Amino acid sequence: MGEKMLKSTYKIFAGFLVGALVVGGIANATTSEPAGIKVCVDKKSQAIFLAPANGCSSARTGLTIGAPSIDVKSVAALVTPSVVSIKVTSIAGSGSGSGSIYKTDGAASFIITNNHVIETAVSSGTIVVELLNGDTIPAQIVGRDIAYDLAVLKIARGNLPTVTVGDSSKISVGEQVVAIGSPLGLASTVTSGIISALNRPVTTGSIGSESFVNAIQTDAAINPGNSGGALLDSRGRIIGVNSAIATLSSGGASGSIGLGFSIPINEAKRVIDELIATGKSTRPVLGIFFDTTFVGIGAKILRLSPGEGAEKAGIPAGSVIKSIGGVRISDQVAAIVKIRSYAPGASVEVSVELPGGGQKSFTVTLGSAPSN
């Protein structure tokens, strides 16, 4: 499937389920220790302690924080035990993906991944999770959300190391990141790069079952099989769920070209917590229908949903949305993606070009609806 670019909106290939693997002189140099604070992170509790002079114990992982460049080796050692491989077998075929251990207790653990990784096994089939030590454990689907391309699995194995959740609202373009997953079935693969862009409107999936992502764009190498894996900041905290790549191929699985996309963890966490608590999730509602024939810049409102946020705020039908929450809106997909980055009940500033001319901003309280 070829990629289609419409204004600032990208149709991204997300078929990460199936992957194939084709298989002088020495100069002296001085080295120096990276700047920053050396700490020890407990492998079970993730508590952080200042590192003693003789280094960290076997129960803790050494990490340097506050350094000018990311310590990939330390981040990998800290987080790799919390990232798993996922193998799916169904009537539609077999495939693989990745996941992160999100919560654990004495008896079971919850794992976050992408919906597209496990969706072929929803009706029939098997899902198996492979831990870092090679143990394979059957998994069951707790819940999934097609619109956000997220799913939660549960395995009957407790007291596993979990990922530490970061804050995706505090990341910046140019910040160094690490991706961990199982591209092409190669478990515990670590790559690094930077955040290339934020608030990138990305859609994946077929018509009628699209996923809309207000994505983090990264050049850290992400390949088929990385889906559902972790995008991490310099302290080893998960800031995104790797979900899609752009591809130049006309079909099939393609390798990384430096355009990978992750679901911001702040957006994902709300959905994940709802799925764990109830098996279902919700999405925010602006309360409008878009004019799909509109070809200008922005998202034109065809009509309003009675009683919903946009009508209550006084936005007139025929208006063209120009920005949401201060972020420029280029088309209706960008508007959908930005709205879905908020939680139901949030107050959002929507700036529109009025039907009669002129621009006006409205504060809209978003409604709530079951997510698909």
CA-based max dimension of the chain:
76
Rounded Cα–Cα distance for residues 240 and 254 (Å): 21
CA 68 to chain centre: 25
φ, ψ of residue 184 in degrees (nearest 5): 55, 30
Using DSSP, state whether 177 is helix, strand or coil: strand
Rounded Cα–Cα distance for residues 273 and 165 (Å): 12
Q: What angle do CA 157, 160, 161 make, to 5 degrees?
A: 160
Nearest one of 274, 270, 283 to 339, comparing CA atoms: 283
Rounded Cα–Cα distance for residues 347 and 308 (Å): 13
Neighbouring-strand partners of residue 100: 83, 112
Neighbouring-strand partners of residue 347: 365
Contact 111, 105 (CB under 8 A): no
Residues designated as active site: 116, 149, 227
The bridge status of strand 93-104 relative to strand 109-113 is antiparallel
Contact 266, 169 (CB under 8 A): yes
Q: Which residues contact 256 (CB under 8 A, 6 or more apart)?
A: 221, 222, 223, 245
Rounded Cα–Cα distance for residues 145 and 341 (Å): 14
